[in-house]
Structure 1
Amino acid sequence: MIYKTVESSLITFSQLMLPSHSNFSGKIHGGYLLSLMDQIAFACGSKYSGKYCVTASVDRVDFLTPVEVGELVTLNASVNYVGNTSMVIGIRVESQNVQTGEIRHCNSSYFTMICKEENGEKADAPKLILRSPNEIRRFYKALHRIEEHKKAALQVKDPMDYHSDDLINYLLEHYNVKIQLDSRL
């Protein structure tokens, strides 16, 4: 069995934000930042595993502060957790005003990447050596998120009747909605 350190997975990527990356309000497109995050997750997972990696899922992404045209965006990624064929890659995104030097945390997220063989089959990922309390914390937090996702998936079984008067009345009383049921559906 192969073991590797978190340090062997570290990737840092910086890019100057151009007007072509912006939306109509002059801020950088969230989708563009997500694309950069996916690229660094691939690079981090592939560097660590020595395998081709594909994105299996992206955990919650909250855009904390907007990124401006002309700022330098830096993404830092590391493997936080390793399963059999999957890895959770932690990504932190920061923007820097290159004139003032001010750095802001823009967002953080977790990408689950799957190791693949050349034939497309899943491949085993190297196991993880944890060397610091921070690495142990990140591993544990990833494990906790995985367990929470599994619990949520078990609760997806949906026995609710979406035509029930009780549910419809509840939605009408507590939320700002109109319900106009189409008899053809």
Structure 2
Amino acid sequence: MADNSNNGMNGKTPNDSKIEMTELVLPNDTNLLGNLLGGRLMHWMDIAGALVASRHSNKTVATVALDSLDFRHPVRMGELVILKAKMTWAGRTSMEVAINVYAENLKNGNVILTNKAYMTFVALGADCKPSLVPPLIPETDDEKNEYIEAEKRRDDRLKKRSKE
């Protein structure tokens, strides 16, 4: 893991900032097939991710990147959408958040993973310029592995930008 403790801030664990957000899929949220609109889901995911990043940094954040978004299963009208978001990595001013989305059928209680995404946010100071964030301190083996994988995604993202 990279050492980003040079910013002089006390680190935080992924559990310090994780959130769970729940939405009910209403008719206005669906397409003609009665399935949740992808754009509506992305909006909710952006909110969940920004809440985690803001909670970690104690700052306003802006969305920088969406590395991947997998649509694995449709979410239908009348189902609950449960978004679970957690920090996976923090650099000097940017942070990655993993967001897992579940659909819960209220009639039978079945819960299924429908989507997963990694989003990157940058913390903004009062001048609306990038601002330092606390280091992330992964505690579990899973969190340590996620941190390493997040660094790889960041490196890939930076390589791609340098080619453009």
Both proteins in one fold, TM over 0.5: yes
Match of 2:88 in 1: 80
Match of 1:101 in 2: 109
What SS does the corresponding residue of 1:142 show, helix, strand or coil? Answer: helix
Asked if residue 150 in structure 1 is aligned to residue 158 in structure 2, the reply is yes
Match among 133, 139, 143 for residue 135 of structure 1: 143
What SS does the corresponding residue of 2:136 show, helix, strand or coil? Answer: strand
Higher relative contact order (CA 8 A, sep 6+): 2
RMSD: 1.1
For 1:49-71, what per-residue CA distance to the aligned partner results, in whole angstroms no more than 9, with x for missing partners?
10000101111112110000000
CA distance in 2, matches of 1:83, 1:103: 34
Match among 109, 113, 119 for residue 111 of structure 1: 119
Match of 2:5 in 1: none
Runs of 4+ in 1 over 4 A off after TM superposition: none
Match among 33, 51, 59 for residue 43 of structure 1: 51
What SS does the corresponding residue of 1:92 show, helix, strand or coil? Answer: strand
Q: Which runs of 5+ in 1 are unaligned?
A: 157-185
Match of 1:176 in 2: none
The one-letter code of the counterpart of 2:129 is: E
Identity among equivalent positions (%) equals 30
Asked if residue 57 in structure 1 is aligned to residue 65 in structure 2, the reply is yes
The one-letter code of the counterpart of 1:116 is: L
Match of 2:74 in 1: 66
Q: How many residues align?
A: 156
Structure whose alpha-carbon radius of gyration is higher: 1
Match of 1:32 in 2: 40
- Measure how far apart 1:155 and its partner are: 4.2
What SS does the corresponding residue of 2:118 show, helix, strand or coil? Answer: strand
